[in-house]
Amino acid sequence: MSPLKRIAYFIGLPVLLIALWWLLTLGPTNFFVPKPLKLVETFWTVWASDRLWTDFLPSIIRLFIGLAASIVLGVVLGVLIGTYRWLRSFTEPILEFFRAVPPPVLVPLLMLLIGINDQMKIVVIITGAIWPVLLNTVEGVRAVDPVLSDTTLTYRITGLARLRYLVLPGASPQIMAGVRQCLSIGLILMVISEMFGSSSGLGYTIVLFQRGFAIPEMWSGIAVLGLIGIGLSFVFRGVEGRVLGWYHGLREMQRDT
Amino acid sequence: MSTTNSRMSRKRFSEPLLGIGGILLFLLVWEAVPRLGLVSARFLPPASTVLVQLVNYLGQASFWGDVGQTMFSWALGLVISIVAAVVLGLMIGSSRFLGRATHSTIEFLRPIPSVALIPLAVLLFGIKMESSLLLVIYASFWQVLLQVLYGVQDVDPVADNTAKSYGLGRIARVRYVVWPTVLPYLMTGVRLASAVALILAITAELVIGSPGLGKQIGLTQSGGAVPEMYALIVATGVIGVLINVGVRIVERRVLTWHPSVRGEGIA
């Protein structure tokens, strides 16, 4: 495909949709749907101001702390549980239960136990985002190639070296799949944790706009959340390309043969 | 052979036992922490209190009414999003042009968190069930659509060409070539979507206040009815487990002919 054609495919539909949106809002002002230009304008005035420092940045920092903690904790616990068979049977039913609890219902509970503060919001993110990482790590560690596992044993590669060169790389495709899910859940929980009894943050601001019927402002908040989601998946794809480059190459070779 | 057999049976016997042990230990710790005063029982009631409350709930019609509301918006939202995603997915997947043209838009819309739509849902529908439905459908639609698209890509070109040369029409090929290939992917999507749909159904009730279990949790929390709140949270967990198990059973049923399920049976 020529680059020109590729660009046309990439922006074709979005341009068409925006044109449609513009055309449909040309007429009398609709209360619920702002005009495209108006939205861009609002977006700029609302978010390129103090809000960037008081609402946007703290939310993002909490999100990153929460995500980093869930990934680290999830991988560490997952490697432990995946390595020891008895530990896996011991914890499996309880983990199944906790994974099945919809994480937002833990917000009222954690508000009670911790209070309404930054720690609570971070813990909310962790309690929801850790499960995909943890369970995928367990599965990944279990599914490590037995031949490679026996080979490392024969060469007496044990302990940390075994972890570094066999278990973690072997489980990394599964772990990354878990991380991908954990990003979107973490973002959802960041917003929800701020919708309860909070006085700052993205979730709070958006609800505030909606309650005050500041419709274009509300849409601009929705757009910010969308952009964060897109940014996260973009960063993730970059990291995944680096970490799993070897794996995708291997898969491609296997497919060709 | 006899040694391996006895080892197998011992393993099978001890694994559920260990699991039950894990649950018991967890309940014991939960019971002990408030009783020893490590955390005030006002904030964390002992396990026995919560379980008694949960059993109490099981006898109340209003509790089942809330469960019914939640499950109704869950099921309706899930069905709508699955049908929409399958139809759109088959359409987009079967045409090269549509696939390329929609790729960027799908990649753009998919990561938008569904909770971002909460204010919109409140504006449009208020605290009615439609608010929950909007969130549930948006969240689960993408899970299913992506899997269907993967599935359509996975169709064996040789099989498709064979069907073509035997004169099968477009619809017959979708039915006999594309559909069996897509089905395992679709079931994965349904499994993911059913969990996400429950999360969003309860979130909507909790945050927006549309009727259901989530709303009750919010009410018990603001009313300071702590054991009741814990009991309801445990109830949502149980519902989640039941949904997971149920979907897995359906998946096995639907895919009995598929090598992945048949292989598991032998191993």
- A145's CB contacts (< 8 A; 6+ apart) are A170
Chain B nearest-CA residue for A10? B104
From the list A121, A193, A213, the residue with the least C-alpha distance to B113 is: A193
Residue A7 covered by a domain:
no
Q: Rounded distance, CA B67 to CA B102, Å?
A: 38
pLDDT digit string (tens) for B116-161?
A: 888 888 888 888 888 889 999 998 999 899 889 888 888 888 888 8
> Does residue A129 sit at the B interface (CB-CB below 8 Å)?
no
* CB-based contact A105 B202, cutoff 8 Å: yes
For residue A9, being part of any structural domain is answered with: no
Reported as a pLDDT band with limits 50, 70 and 90, residue B4 is very low
Q: Indicate the residue of A90, A101, A225 with minimum beta-carbon distance to B21.
A: A90
Which tokens belong to B169? 């029409």
Asked whether the beta carbons of residue B22 and residue A92 sit closer than 8 angstroms, the reply is: yes
pLDDT for B8 beyond 50: no
Please give the Cα distance from B80 to B147 (Å, whole number).
Answer: 16
Give me the pLDDT at residue A245, please. 83
Q: Which of A31, A101, A236 to mutate to test the interface with B (most CBs of B within 10 A)?
A: A101
Q: Which two tokens stand for residue A76?
A: 């560490």
CA A4 to chain centre: 33
| Residues B239/B163, Cβ–Cβ less than 8 Å | no
Of B104, B117, B241, the CB nearest to A96: B241
Name the residue facing A112 among B26, B226, B244 (closest C-beta).
Answer: B226
How many domains is chain A partitioned into structurally? 1
| B116, B122, B233 member nearest A225 (Cβ) | B116
SS3 A173: helix
Q: Say yes or no for a CB contact (<8 Å) between B118 and A91.
A: no
A194 is a domain residue: yes
A16-48 residue pLDDT tens: 888 888 887 777 666 777 777 778 888 888 777
B226 chain-A contacts, CB cut-off 8 A: 112
pLDDT value of residue B11 = 52
Residue A177: count of CB within 10 angstroms of its CB: 17
User: Which positions ≥6 away from B90 have C-beta within 8 Å?
Assistant: B148, B152, B174, B178, B182
- Domain interval for residue A98: 41-256
Mean pLDDT of chain B: 85
Task: Taking the CA atoms of B126, B130, B136 and B139 in sequence, report the sign of the dihedral they define.
Answer: negative
B124–chain A nearest CA distance, Å: 8
Q: Give the residue on A whose Cα is nearest the Cα of B196.
A: A102
A99-137 pLDDT, tens digit each: 888 888 888 888 888 888 888 889 989 998 999 899 889
Average pLDDT for B219-241: 90
Kindly state whether residue A181 falls inside one of the protein's structural domains. Answer: yes
Closest CA in chain A for residue B197: A102
Of B22, B195, B206, the CB nearest to A105: B206
To test the contact with chain B by mutation, choose from A63, A88, A105, A196 the residue with the greatest count of B C-beta atoms within 10 A, namely A105
Report d(CA A96, CA A103) in Å as an integer.
13
Q: What is the pLDDT of residue A1?
A: 67
The first and second tokens of residue A83, run together, are 């390595």
Q: Is the pLDDT of residue B112 over 90?
A: no
DSSP state of B145: H
Is B111 within 8 Å of A222 when comparing Cβ atoms?
A: no
Chain B environment of A225 (Cβ under 8 Å) = 112-113, 115-116
Q: What is the CATH number of the domain that holds A117?
A: 1.10.3720.10
Question: What confidence tens digit (pLDDT) does each residue in B55-102 have?
Answer: 999 888 889 999 999 999 999 999 999 999 999 999 888 888 888 888
Q: Mark yes or no for CB contact A210/B117 under 8 Å.
A: no
Q: How far is Cα A104 from Cα B74, in angstroms, rounded to an integer?
A: 16
Alpha-carbon span B187 to A35, nearest angstrom: 40
Report the chain B residue with the minimal C-alpha distance to residue A231. Answer: B111
**Domain for residue A229, yes or no?**
yes
Angstroms from B83 CA to nearest CA on chain A = 23
Tell me, yes or no, whether A113 lies in a domain: yes
Q: Would residue A20 count as lying in a domain?
A: no
What pLDDT is attached to residue B262? 63
Contact B19 A109 (CB under 8 A): no
Instruction: Give which of A103, A70, A117 is closest to A192, Cα–Cα.
Output: A103
A89 and B23: CB-CB below 8 Å? no
Within 13 Å and on the Cβ side, how many CA atoms surround B239?
30
For residues A112-134, one letter each, b for 16 or more C-beta atoms within 10 angstroms of the residue's C-beta and e for the rest, the string is bebebeeebbbbbbbbbbbbbbb
Nearest C-alpha in B relative to A183: B111
Look at residue A83 and tell me whether its pLDDT is greater than 50.
Answer: yes
One DSSP character per residue, A114-179 reads H-SSHHHHHHHHHHHHHHHHHHHHHHHHHTS-HHHHHHHHHTT--HHHHIIIIIHHHHHHHHHHHH
Q: Which of residues 198-237 of A touch B (CB under 8 A)?
A: 203, 206-207, 209-210, 215, 218, 221-222, 225-226, 229-230, 232-233
Predicted pLDDT of residue B7: 46
Give the per-residue pLDDT at B3: 41
A30, part of any domain? no
